[in-house]
Amino acid sequence: MKNEISLNDTDLQRLEKKGYRFVGQHKHSAAKICHWTKKSILNEGVCYKEKFYGIESHRCLQMSPSITFCHHKCLFCWRDISITQTEWNVDFDEATDIIDGCIEAQRNLLCGFFGNSQSDIEKLDECRDPNNAAISLAGEPMLYPLINDLLTEFKKRSFTTFLVSNGMTPSRLDNLNVEPSQLYLSLDAPNEQIYRKLCQPQIKKGWMQLNQSLELLNSFKCRTVIRMTCVKDYNMTLPEEYAKMIKRSNPDFVEIKAYMYVGSSRKRLELGNMPHFSEILDFANSVAELCNMDIINESQESRVVLLS
């Protein structure tokens, strides 16, 4: 028998204090204002995704339909993994209700900027109507039972969609009726031993599932990206093994990004596990050379390098 909602009142209140705004009847979806959305409104900088891919940071909706559901408890995750559940065990809201709720939540969260004299007036007017959905706030979005409906509804509303997956559901990836604008797969280890230590999979055969998803990547017509989160002293090793998997999956881009010492990850890792940009650049060069790719862009502030 399913539960009515995914979180108890205490957890909901704790996450709301951190800036989450839950929407829908069953409280498995939420929006949260991205750091870069705020900075963009104040003309203090933009997300590296704007620099790399052309989306507008002030019009980006950071959300998730599956806040508490994930197959991993990654050491580097900035979220609170104590609430993570591996099986969908609640009733679920319709995609239209989730999107309506997240847009309204974003508008309410941004209302304070209208009283800030430093805000860009034109951006403020535009930010009330986001046009890109970063489906990546927390959890694994492919676990939401109506993920096809969610992507369809965003497309109807002329949104671009950046869907981030951990690759644990290859069968669902293979059966997406509507592709996102950009599909991310996370590749955070060069082999199964490091994967188990760093990503802490909560299901069996996680490494096999990931590799099956990587093999599917080349079949997508949308833009595809492999995202590597680099944690010093954990997974910045064996670039030749990463290169083999990258070549096999043939993505359009590879993002090699530093783990950032923020949020709940500070309870699990040390400041020294956050690589400097120079270390990311060196590692990216090694991977790029081995998989016949080039470094085409970078963001030193976000400690990320883009290969293609």
Predicted local distance difference test score (pLDDT) of residue 270 = 96
**DSSP sequence for 40-107:** HHTTS---HHHHHH---GGGEEEEES-TTB-SB--TT--S-GGG-BSS--B----HHHHHHHHHHHHH
24: left (phi over 0), alpha (psi -120 to 50) or beta: left
What is the tally of helices (H) and strands (E) in the chain? 11, 10
Predicted local distance difference test score (pLDDT) of residue 1 = 44
The residue ranges of DSSP E strands in 142-208, in sequence order, are 160-165, 182-186
Query: Between vectors from CA 147 to CA 146 and to CA 150, what angle results, nearest 5°?
Result: 90
DSSP, res 262 = -
Round to whole Å and give the CA distance between 267 and 81: 11
3-state secondary structure of 270: coil
Query: Between vectors from CA 252 to CA 249 and to CA 256, what angle results, nearest 5°?
Result: 85
Contact indicator for 163, 141 with CB cutoff of 8 Å: yes
Residues of the chain under the 70 pLDDT cut: 1-4
Residue 255 CB contacts under 8 Å (≥ 6 apart), including other chains: 52, 184, 225, 226, 227, 228, 304, 305, 306, 307
Predicted local distance difference test score (pLDDT) of residue 86 = 87
Contact indicator for 241, 86 with CB cutoff of 8 Å: no
Round to whole Å and give the CA distance between 60 and 55: 8
Q: pLDDT, tens digit, for every residue of 182-231?
A: 999 999 999 999 999 999 999 999 999 999 999 999 999 999 999 999 99
- Helices 206-216 and 192-199 pack at an angle, to 10 degrees, of 110
Q: Which residue in 118, 131, 195, 194 sits closest to 158, CA to CA?
A: 131
> Which residue ranges make up each domain of the chain?
9-307
Which CATH fold topology does 9-307 show?
TIM Barrel (3.20.20)
Round to whole Å and give the CA distance between 89 and 216: 27
Predicted local distance difference test score (pLDDT) of residue 167 = 96
Q: pLDDT, tens digit, for every residue of 13-50?
A: 888 888 899 999 999 999 999 999 999 999 999 999 99
